[in-house]
């Protein structure tokens, strides 16, 4: 089986590549950055832009499976930037898979595609998309996810969408450095009552979910395909207690000062308006989406992933934290 991983230079994509190579798959990686460490392991690397239709079709033409992790994440930025990289790129991948005869397309989505700013306490995939969005990232990911699921074709291309939440682990270039930087600069505040519960997922587990999806689509496609799946540790934690643990482990001051959710949300809305009017490209220090994510529950029922994909988290929260490095 020849497998293409888009976004292979990313935190999740590179771990997926390592797990696939370890089990003996023939892996092709696509990214804009060089990946000499993965090439040394045996991955064939292509550099390119997913908005280039001809390039995408040429790269997908000789693979059996595409794992599409490449995306632009974030809570701030112009609509076109998110739309081109998250929607147009996915459409190009889908079209290439359909024309080449690829058998599987596994899409890396996000639980934020269902998030409208309220509590999400143990929800499953029956929860639909919101009518209003707090930023462009979840909206564009939802558009792409819809099209991935709609493209599932019995007897042809089988598709799934995976929604890993707050990926962390060794080498994390996003979540952990950002938290620690804010804590050390004194800019981290507990938003709300500090009791909200969240799900996360260790990068090893998130990557393993993608590998499990390949096997499930191959062995029982009618049971697994054409669906979205929440992917998490299955160990919800209190958000601010977990953040304090991370701060303690890395000798950063744990946040103690609080701000109400209503105040943080209002500040975020105001800053968004100011930054938009000034056409500033840098991210505001607070946004409505960030305020809601830090104050509300967002943990998930992953029964579907367990039963239909055979997904099982193997790295626990305790073990993952013990081995975590920056």
Cα angle for residues 55, 9, 324 (degrees, 5° grid): 160
Per residue, what are the HEC states of 21-49? HHCCCEEEEEECCCCHHHHHHCCEEEECC
**Active site residue: 83, 107, 129, 137, which one?**
137
Q: Output the pLDDT for position 198.
A: 97
CA gap 216, 311 in Å, rounded: 10
Helices (H), 73-220: 79-82, 89-100, 136-150, 175-184, 203-219
Is 137 considered catalytic here?
Answer: yes
CA gap 118, 132 in Å, rounded: 12
Q: Are 167 and 12 in contact (CB under 8 A)?
A: yes
Q: Output the pLDDT for position 326.
A: 66
Domain 2-168+201-232+299-317 grouped into CATH 3.20.20.370? no
- Print pLDDT tens along the chain (326 aa): 899 999 999 999 999 999 999 999 999 999 988 899 999 999 999 998 999 999 999 999 999 999 999 999 999 999 999 999 999 999 999 999 999 999 999 999 999 999 999 999 999 999 999 999 999 999 999 999 999 999 999 999 999 999 999 999 998 998 899 999 999 999 899 999 999 999 999 999 999 999 999 999 999 999 999 999 999 999 999 999 999 999 999 999 999 999 999 999 999 999 999 999 999 989 999 999 999 999 999 999 999 999 999 999 999 999 999 988 76
Q: Output the pLDDT for position 82.
A: 97
At 251 the three-state DSSP class reads coil
Strands, E assignment, 100-143: 104-108, 120-123
Strands 158-164 and 104-108: parallel
Domain-by-domain residue ranges, the chain?
A: 2-168+201-232+299-317
DSSP state string for 144-175:
HHHHHHHT--TTS-EEEEEEE-SEE-TT-SSH
What is the reported pTM?
A: 0.95
Work out whether the CA dihedral 93, 223, 17, 168 comes out positive or negative: positive
Q: Which helix (H) or strand (E) holds 237?
A: strand 237-238
DSSP state string for 263-325:
HHHHHHHHHHHHHHHTT--SPPS--HHHHHHHHS-EEE--HHIIIII-----S-HHHHHHT--
Strands 65-68 and 26-31: unpaired
């Amino acid at each position: 089986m020849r497998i293409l991983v888009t976004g292979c230079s990313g935190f999740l994509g590179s771990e997926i590549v390592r797990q696939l190579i370890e089990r003996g798959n023939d892996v092709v990686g696509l990214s804009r950055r060089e990946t000499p460490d993965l090439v040394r392991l045996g991955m064939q690397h292509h550099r390119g832009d997913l908005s280039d239709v001809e390039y995408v079709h040429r790269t997908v033409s000789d693979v059996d499976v595409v794992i599409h992790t490449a995306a632009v994440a974030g809570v701030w930025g112009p609509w076109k930037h998110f739309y081109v990289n998250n929607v147009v790129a996915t459409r190009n991948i889908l079209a290439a898979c359909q024309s080449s005869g690829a058998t599987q397309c596994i899409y890396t989505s996000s639980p934020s595609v269902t998030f409208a700013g309220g509590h999400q306490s143990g929800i499953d995939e029956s929860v639909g998309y919101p009518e209003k969005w707090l930023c462009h990232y979840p909206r564009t990911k939802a558009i792409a996810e819809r099209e991935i699921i709609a493209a599932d074709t019995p007897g042809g291309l089988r598709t799934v969408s995976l929604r890993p939440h707050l990926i962390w682990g060794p080498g994390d270039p996003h979540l952990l450095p950002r938290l620690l930087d804010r804590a050390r600069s004194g800019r981290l505040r507990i938003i709300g009552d500090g009791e909200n519960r969240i799900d996360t997922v260790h990068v090893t587990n998130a990557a393993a979910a993608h590998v499990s999806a390949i096997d499930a689509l191959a062995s029982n496609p009618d049971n697994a395909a054409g669906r979205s799946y929440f992917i998490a540790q299955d160990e919800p934690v209190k958000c601010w207690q977990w953040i304090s643990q991370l701060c303690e482990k890395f000798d950063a001051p744990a946040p103690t000062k609080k701000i109400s959710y209503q105040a943080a949300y209002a500040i975020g809305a105001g800053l968004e308006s100011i930054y938009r009017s000034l056409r500033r490209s840098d991210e505001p220090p607070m946004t409505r989406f960030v305020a809601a994510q830090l104050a509300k529950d967002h943990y998930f029922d992953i029964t579907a992933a367990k039963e239909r994909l055979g997904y099982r988290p193997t790295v626990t929260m305790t073990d993952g934290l013990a081995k975590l490095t920056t």
